[in-house]
Amino acid sequence: MSRYRTIRRDAVAEIEVKRSRFRCVVERVATEDDARAVVERLRAEYRDARHHCSALVLGPGSPDGEVERAHDDGEPSGTAGAPMLEVLRGAEVADVVAVVTRWFGGTLLGAGGLVRAYSDAVRVAVEQAGTRERALLHELDLTVGHAEAGRIESDLRARGMVVLDTGYGADVSLLLGVEPDQEQTLHAALAELTGGRMEATRVGERWVDVG
């Protein structure tokens, strides 16, 4: 997988069901530790709430790798964390934690009512957050002379290539980023622009937000 979706921004949504309040926070996270920190922050902020249920999805760009977690935090098993996780899966988003804080309104909702309430709270929050894509880029280093650097960089950008960084020394070092299936296109463009005199060398890879 060289692309996946995440949320565009953090978001908060609140719904009420039979006087019980369900406040959902969705936030972008990179690791499980980040997600736990969000849960603990909200637990400390809303100490009067009975439950702080959560669901986590991390994508292949996370240092922890692909991870899914769900926690009911005292609600009947399967009525909170699991349905929250299903909403994140359905939205096809990763690198995100959803935390639903619940204040009990005095009326029991039953298993079905809880599943609907927790699911709806997350669904509304994800809709408010919007989505964007993350892409895996191969990093390639290109060393060029100062006299040609500006022209080559401008031409590469015009062809849709991403210049991640520029370093200046005896020569100019351009760190280029391309999606895996575009690497050969980059090499062909360089051959055309430099008459075959210059080649870019793969030095690594990174995940970046696009779109």
Whether residue 157 is found in the same domain as residue 120: no
Q: What is the pTM of this model?
A: 0.87
Whether residue 141 is found in the same domain as residue 83: no
Of 70, 99, 129, which marks where a domain is finished? 129
Whether residue 115 is found in the same domain as residue 169: no
Q: Closest Cα partner for 66 from 26, 102, 31, 115?
A: 31
Whether residue 146 is found in the same domain as residue 68: no
The reported pLDDT for the residue numbered 1 is 75
Whether residue 82 is found in the same domain as residue 28: yes
Q: Which residues contact 209 (CB under 8 A, 6 or more apart)?
A: 6, 132, 133, 134
Whether residue 105 is found in the same domain as residue 183: no
**Backbone φ, ψ for residue 184 (5° rounding):** -65, -35
Gap between the Cα atoms of 62 and 60, Å rounded:
5
The residue range of the domain holding 38 is 3-129
The reported pLDDT for the residue numbered 135 is 94
Mean of the per-residue pLDDT values for the chain? 95
The CATH number assigned to the domain holding 16 equals: 3.30.230.30
Of 129, 145, 176, which marks where a domain is finished? 129
Confidence of residue 175 (pLDDT cuts 50, 70, 90): very high
The CATH number assigned to the domain holding 167 equals: 3.30.70.240
Of 114, 129, 144, which marks where a domain is finished? 129
Contact 171, 92 (CB under 8 A): no
pLDDT, tens digit (0-9, with 9 covering 90-100), for 48-62? 999 999 999 999 999
**Total structural domains within the chain:** 2
Residue 161 has pLDDT above 90, yes or no: no
Q: Cα 124 from chain centroid?
A: 18
Whether residue 21 is found in the same domain as residue 103: yes
pLDDT, tens digit (0-9, with 9 covering 90-100), for 63-85? 999 999 999 999 999 999 999 99
pLDDT, tens digit (0-9, with 9 covering 90-100), for 114-146? 999 999 999 999 999 999 999 999 999 999 999
The reported pLDDT for the residue numbered 210 is 86
| Mean pLDDT computed over 31-37 | 98
Q: Cα 18 from chain centroid?
A: 34
Whether residue 98 is found in the same domain as residue 182: no
Gap between the Cα atoms of 95 and 106, Å rounded:
35
Gap between the Cα atoms of 157 and 27, Å rounded:
32
The reported pLDDT for the residue numbered 127 is 98
